[in-house]
A = this chain, B = another copy of it.
């Protein structure tokens, strides 16, 4: 009924990265019906669902989110870990650390245009752990 697996993604550069296939390739055999919960175990990165086709969408995410939440904002008092740290924490909560996706017929049941983005907010974030829980029957 319940399967759990920790996936370690290699370091990605700052930005938004389509990781659907990489994650799917590491999942065990999925049940015929259920949910898959993806949980990133970090506070300066996020997981979100968005367009899986035109890469320019992912570039615009980086541009827009940097403008919305500037690195090194003068108002921040949490500064010890670098100018990209507090901005990363805010982006992580705004985009979210966890997504749940339905499973149908042994596959992630995504819409035609949906893919999973790893959102890397640090300049040098290193590898990231994603813990997956699958509930199904």
A137 within 8 A of B: yes
Contact B111 A129 (CB under 8 A): yes
Q: Which among B33, B34, B89, B99 is the interface contact of A98 at CB below 8 angstroms?
A: B99
* Interface pairs (11), CB distance under 8 Å: A1-B137, A2-B33, A35-B133, A39-B100, A41-B111, A41-B112, A43-B51, A50-B93, A54-B78, A64-B69, A100-B100
* A binding-site residues for B, Cβ under 8 Å: 1-2, 4, 33-35, 37, 39-43, 48-51, 54, 56-57, 59-61, 63-64, 67-69, 73, 75-78, 80, 86, 89-90, 92-102, 104, 109-114, 117, 129, 131, 133, 135-137
